[in-house]
Chains A and B, each alone.
Chain A
Amino acid sequence: ILNVEQSPQSLHVQEGDSTNFTCSFPSSNFYALHWYRWETAKSPEALFVMTLNGDEKKKGRISATLNTKEGYSYLYIKGSQPEDSATYLCASYNAGNNRKLIWGLGTSLAVNP
């Protein structure tokens, strides 16, 4: 794949549910994978920067895994809370002549109380 793709596009869950979304990115010349949370009326906030195949990072109830060989990353939220409602963006940085972060369109998460 040449672009960064995120699925699902949107998700509605109940408070307390655990959920996960996927980010697919080009596996060739991979350099780094970023995850951000973007709440309405705020700026995107960095969650994780991941570089190593098999890497797993955690921040509170949120964790992420990385598979650079097959080009995907999962973001998990355990026990979703209403304050987790946001758009979750991933971005891939691949080395090469035109190095830049390529962004997915995001997964919009709504957590119902």
Chain B
Amino acid sequence: KAGVTQTPRYLIKTRGQQVTLSCSPISGHRSVSWYQQTPGQGLQFLFEYFSETQRNKGNFPGRFSGRQFSNSRSEMNVSTLELGDSALYLCASSLGTADDPTNYGYTFGSGTRLTVV
């Protein structure tokens, strides 16, 4: 059974550019969440999608956006990149449903390491 796949694994971008990261969840998982991880900050929640709908959003500026497709694959986009956006971006999928969101653990991808120079 394939795990959560994130692409690309590594990315180097210049300030002001935009970037799109992709996440393919485990087959059958309709819930996808995105996190940013920086040293000393822990996992910071970005968004959660369920069946193509954004169910929740973290405290990040509008430059961070995301979407989910009908096959549950998800993308996140960061526009006008800043140096502080350099981080590991993790995607996680879950069997959780709209009514029973977190009775199931999350399966994480390997992440995309974004470096903004």
Is there a chain B Cβ closer than 8 Å to A44's Cβ? Answer: yes
Partner of A98, one of B33, B56, B104: B56
A104 to B4, CA, bound (A): 23
In the complex, 30 of the A-B residue pairs with CB atoms within 8 angstroms, ordered by the A residue number, are A31-B102, A32-B102, A32-B103, A34-B106, A36-B105, A36-B106, A43-B90, A43-B109, A43-B110, A43-B111, A44-B92, A46-B105, A46-B107, A47-B105, A48-B105, A49-B105, A89-B43, A98-B56, A99-B56, A99-B101, A100-B45, A100-B56, A100-B58, A101-B33, A101-B45, A101-B102, A103-B43, A103-B45, A105-B42, A106-B42
Cβ contacts under 8 Å, B48 to chain A: 100
Q: How large is the interface on A (under 10, 10 to 19, 20 to 34, 35 or more residues)?
A: 20 to 34
Which of A31, A43, A93, A104 has the most C-beta atoms of chain B within 10 angstroms of its own C-beta?
A: A43
Q: A36-B106, A43-B4 are in contact. List 8 more A-B contacts (CB 8 A).
A: A42-B110, A44-B92, A45-B108, A46-B106, A100-B58, A101-B106, A103-B43, A105-B42
Is there a chain B Cβ closer than 8 Å to A51's Cβ? Answer: yes
Residues on A close to B: CB < 8 A? 31-32, 34, 36, 42-49, 51, 89, 91, 93, 98-106
A33 to B56, CA, bound (A): 18
A43 to B90, CA, bound (A): 8
Cβ contacts under 8 Å, A98 to chain B: 56
A34 and B42: CB pair below 8 A? no
Cβ contacts under 8 Å, B45 to chain A: 100-103
Partner of A103, one of B42, B103, B107: B42
Interface of chain B residues 74 through 98 with chain A (CB within 8 A):
90, 92
A48 to B60, CA, bound (A): 28
Cβ contacts under 8 Å, A103 to chain B: 42-43, 45
B43 — nearest CB in chain A belongs to which residue?
A103
Cβ contacts under 8 Å, A32 to chain B: 102-103
